[in-house]
Amino acid sequence: MGQLTLDLIEKDPSLTLHSALGSGNSLNEALGADLVIDFTNPEVSERVVDFAIDNNLRLLVGTSGWSKEKIDRVRNKISGTSAVVAIVPNFSIGSVLATNFAAEAAKYFDVIEIVETHNISKVDAPSGTALFTSQAISEARNGVPAEQQLGIVTDPVFNGIPIKSVRLPDKHAEQEVSFRAKDEKLNLRHEVTSHEVYAQGVLLSIHKTMKLSGLTVGMLALMEEN
């Protein structure tokens, strides 16, 4: 995702690269940038966010693994500062819409499960998208937890929603949210087969984050922001 973003910046005449930082660079090298973009790992990402808030920077976070508890900490820390933080768990417009549809459907079903499948190279589980989807579902249900799917295996529960994580060598990214009721089943499935699908969402998020204030979570908020 970092390389994809660098390519997008190079091709967009309205954007200019300030610096590209790796693990050997100091975060101080980001000072002076109009926008900092974070594609790291969950542990490093928290340090980047803290650095951005402490220095009143504008930050777009694309790193996965941001739980509700971590986001709440950022919300408290950013209060009273002029820093801007946008946390985007997934830059696929289709994925964002699928999460929105799942939250709406969750109001009408009690048996709910999320199954997220990614490549074996993905280190975090559940994925940031699955965590964000479970949070959106929980909010739509006013915090009422879902009932467990019937079966031998009991999936871990996040935000009151069971999430099963699968890692396969030939898979890019896929999420399916299943809903069950008496004599009825609804499946909402979204699959990504290439990183290129994220390009449109990254560009949209870059330009929209420049207009934000405070903390924003999820690309749907950016899509709806005028």
Q: How far is CA 73 from CA 79, 82, 107, 111, 216, in A?
A: 10, 16, 28, 30, 13
What crossing angle do the helices spanning 128-140 and 93-105 adopt, rounded to 10°? 30
**190 is an active site residue:** no
What is the C-alpha to C-alpha distance for residues 220 and 104, in angstroms, rounded to an integer?
Answer: 14
Work out the angle at residue 23's Cα, subtended by the Cα atoms of residues 19 and 25, and round it to the nearest 5 degrees. 45
What is the C-alpha to C-alpha distance for residues 99 and 195, in angstroms, rounded to an integer?
Answer: 19
Of 118, 164, 190, 208, which residue is the catalytic one? 118
Nearest of 85, 31, 27 to residue 58 by alpha carbon: 85
Evaluated on CA atoms 75, 77, 83, 89, the torsion sign reads negative
**118 is an active site residue:** yes
Of 18, 68, 77, 122, which residue is the catalytic one? 122
The DSSP result for 104-160, as a single string, is HHTTS-SEEEEEEEEETT--SSS-HHHHHHHHHHHHHTTTPPPBPPSSSSPPPEETT
User: Which residues are catalytically annotated?
Assistant: 118, 122
